Structure 1
């Protein structure tokens, strides 16, 4: 039988994710685990290329990443994995088992991306739900493990919250908060995981969410009620050109 990794490399991306997700927790069994982890690593390698390419194109346009506050203080658009990223992923896989393979691979191989900022030709990019994925630097270089441990302890101490919402590890502000507008809860991965890929709440897979963002050049949203304006013709398409499907 052809491996999932071989199929993935041949371009059968959507079909491979469909088949691996259908395995649910069986994907962690010895029969499937190594092959599924290899697919997750391949996905992360492609995602890193996309992130680096996208950030390079944005910087060439004069884009400046900035904090989502009143001052719009500049900050890095991309931070590669640190020397501690693998240890963080190892801890998450143990503490929150079963932990999604795609999320662990992202933490180890991709790093953190923050596309909130100011584009000289598209001021409204901040209203387009800019791509943000921050697992390691979620507290501006703070201790990510301490942050997630604190979130877990808070969730465990609140029986009502346990009943109404699954625990999740946050990785991005919601679309309104990114634009410095009072919004809802952050985007996060629901735990315990359900298999190879992570779920955002109960409705969208992590990899699908990333594919939507990359297909839109890193800006997949539309906050029309807040003054959103379409980008100049070709800008979004130029950013998305030749980015890889995960």
Structure 2
């Protein structure tokens, strides 16, 4: 039998995710575990390459990442995994188990991504739900583990929680544009297997694929003044990006 990771590398990404997700929690047991972990790592390495390419192309056009506040404080668009990333991922896998393999792999291999900012050719890019995945909280002085532990303890202490526990990783599309909106995007726990849920109907990897297919800017907040990017800009951003 051909391994899932071999099939993934051969271009069967969508089929591999379908098959691994179908395993549910059995994916954490042998004979599936090591193969699934290898797929998650391959996914994260592809995502890291996509992020680096996108950031390089955006910055070549004059893009400057900035906080989503009134001051638009400059900040990095990508911060690679820091020295505490491995410990954070291992803690998540142990304390928040069952924890999605894809999310842990992102922490280990990708780092924090923030494509909110100013694009001189496309000022409305902030209204296109720019790609943000912050799990290590690197630009906030770290402390992600302490924050998640506190939130996890608070959730478990609630005798009747109104919703599933969520590992937040991004503000919603409106808040990214410094507009009052809804709650943050996050991974729902407990996990269901290899991949994480972003809301009840969306997988983490599918969400990432949608973002990368749009050059990192997948939505259109037209009620807030969204304008399409200049001709050719999105095509330039998406050229040769890898499907996860």
TM-score by length of 1: 0.97
Unmatched tracts of structure 2, length 5 or more:
none
CA distance in 2, matches of 1:231, 1:36: 38
- 1:173 has 2:182 as partner: no
1:201 corresponds to which residue?
199
Q: Once superposed, what is the RMSD of the aligned Cα atoms?
A: 1.0
2:120 corresponds to which residue?
120
1:11 corresponds to which residue?
11
1:152 corresponds to which residue?
152
Residues 123-146 of structure 1: CA deviation (Å, up to 9, x unaligned): 000000000000001671230011
Unmatched tracts of structure 1, length 5 or more:
none
TM-score by length of 2: 0.98
1:211 corresponds to which residue?
209
* 1:173–1:186 CA contact under 8 A, matched in 2: yes
User: How many residues were matched structurally?
Assistant: 244
Runs of 4 or more consecutive aligned structure 1 residues displaced over 6 Å after TM superposition: none
* 2:127–2:219 CA contact under 8 A, matched in 1: yes
CA distance in 1, matches of 2:62, 2:159: 48
* 1:63–1:117 CA contact under 8 A, matched in 2: yes
CA distance in 2, matches of 1:51, 1:123: 20
| SS in structure 2 at match of 1:188 | strand
1:242 corresponds to which residue?
240
**Once structures 1 and 2 are overlaid, which stretch shifts more, 220-229 or 136-145?**
136-145
Residues 164-222 of structure 1: CA deviation (Å, up to 9, x unaligned): 31001000000000000011110000011000000012110000000000000000011
1:184 corresponds to which residue?
182
| SS in structure 2 at match of 1:31 | coil
Deviation at 1:23, TM superposition (A): 0.3
CA distance in 1, matches of 2:233, 2:135: 28
